[in-house]
Amino acid sequence: MKNLATLLCIISALVISVFSYKCYSCWSRNSTTCQESEIECLGDRCMTCSQHFKLAGYEYKSIFKGCANETLCGAHGSGMAENTKYRFSSHCCNGHLCNNQTYKTLEDNFTTNGVQCPLSMCTETLEECKSDKVVNCTGSMDRCLDYRATIRDPYGRDRNYSCKGCINSDACEYNFDSKIVAEETRRVFLKC
């Protein structure tokens, strides 16, 4: 019986070592680089995500590396509201420490696509932000967005935002609920 238990422990250790991969792990609050460490992942895929976020005169660029979130693999998106622009891209790869990519976001596409959306941006409120303004959406942003959230910015301040504008389907599915965007996001309302 003792030999059987020892054999099971050895087999378990071999299985874990065969199916356990390492990925680089890091997150920057407002930088295009981050201090990498190594983490073990259950799968064999790693991920690198980049983000570019402009909000009322402030600009944040952030990068995240870690174990792959399969729902984000290959996703890229963009959204815009009044005085706000958001872009992100994610890349997944297979194998040990394969996520050594550097910061990369999508380029802006200013070609109008025929979609028009309400345009507004309100700060310090979670109520619907209303405006008579309309924006001509560009590039792949072919859906309208109504978004409200409390976001902890890279400086540790909690801010309430409410906005309307254009978004593409990847960014809408991404839901803005990520540490890539800010230290913490508590989404109150999202409609695409």
Q: What is the band of 85 on the pLDDT scale with cuts at 50, 70, 90? A: confident
User: Residue 11 pLDDT > 50, yes or no?
Assistant: no
Decide which of 8 and 121 is more confident.
Answer: 121
CB 97 within 8 A of CB 22: yes
User: Residue 158 pLDDT > 60, yes or no?
Assistant: yes
Q: What is the 3-state secondary structure (H, E, C) of 14-55?
A: HHHHHHCEEEEEEECCCCCCCCCEEEEECCCEEEEEEEEEEE
Pair of tokens at residue 13: 């250790």
Class at the top of the CATH hierarchy for domain 21-191? mainly beta
What percentage of the chain reaches a pLDDT higher than 90?
Answer: 33
Mean pLDDT of 94-123: 90
The ranges assigned to domains in the chain are 21-191
Q: What is the band of 154 on the pLDDT scale with cuts at 50, 70, 90? A: low
DSSP 98-142: --------PPP---EEEEEEE-EEEES--S----S-EEEEETT--
User: Residue 151 pLDDT > 80, yes or no?
Assistant: no
Global confidence as pTM: 0.74
Tell me the pLDDT tens digit for each residue of 160-178. Answer: 889 899 988 877 776 555 4
Q: What is the DSSP letter of 158?
A: E
